[in-house]
Amino acid sequence: MKSRHITLQNSDTKYPLPLIEKEQISHNTRRFRFGLPSLDHALGLPVGNYVHLLAEIDGVLVVRAYTPVSSDDDLGFVDLIIKIYFKNVHPNYPEGGKMTQYLENMKIGDTILFQGPSGCLFYHGSGKFVFKPYKTSEPETKLVHHLGMIAGGTGITPMLQLIRCIARKPSDKTVMSLIFANQTEEDILMRNELEEIARTHPTQFNLWYTLDRPPVDWKYSSGFITKDMIKEHLPPPGKSTLILETLEM
């Protein structure tokens, strides 16, 4: 078995990583794969944490937070799935997204700075969540039997990180329920993987969608997430229940 080296040794250090692959997932979503220092390197990101990407754009330092869809089981690379906010698409944001358009224009071999790990949520397995709002905070532990998740668009990435981690370990019996909101059926990211996990873990992972513009034969919900939808598809409040939410359409 290969010995693993950790890339993110220090959360205050910035690590330049090269773009080694770019895949078009949809008309405005891409998978960016960045290379780690060697094929024996893992990123070194605790489950529940995220990274910051830093770039100087038009003379200004731009920093954005992203959760990889790869894990520390993947050696030699880190994958990010990112929605590109193009210019002149949304009337409220005529300039589009600075960082996402910068990433879109990167060429294979170009580097960008990674910094991390960052975050106040840590998942230690078997339902054990640890919260640490600040570096100096005393950690708070919560044992969770049923994890409820609400995600929209690319906000699925931090949820997928948790879902993968739990589903990959037969010893982890944490039950998961996800409501995943999108604009159209074509916008549902990682759909095949989510539905495969739901198929292979039918008593452990409950998956539900809602769409702004559903097709005629759509069998899930439509419109905004409602109280009734949450009541029907997520666990009720309780000491062993945790609800997480990330909405980024």
Radius of gyration of the chain (CA): 19
Query: Does the annotation list 219 as a binding residue?
Result: no
d(CA 120, CA 132): 5
DSSP classification of residue 185: G
- Please tell me whether 99 is known to bind a ligand: yes
Is there a binding annotation on residue 81? yes
66 is in an annotated binding site: yes
Comparing CA positions, the residue from 155, 159, 143 lying closest to residue 206 is: 159
Give the CA-trace dihedral at 45, 46, 48, 53, to 10 degrees.
-20
149 is in an annotated binding site: no
Instruction: Show the CA angle centred on residue 182, arms to residues 84 and 200, nearest 5°.
Output: 110
State which amino acid sits at residue 119: G
Cα dihedral sign for 80, 136, 149, 45? positive
Asked if residue 184 belongs to a known ligand binding site, the reply is no
Outline where DSSP puts E strands in 157-240: 175-182, 205-211, 221-222
Residues of the binding site for FAD: 64, 66, 81, 83, 86, 98-99, 157
Binding site: what residues are annotated? 64, 66, 81, 83, 86, 98-99, 157
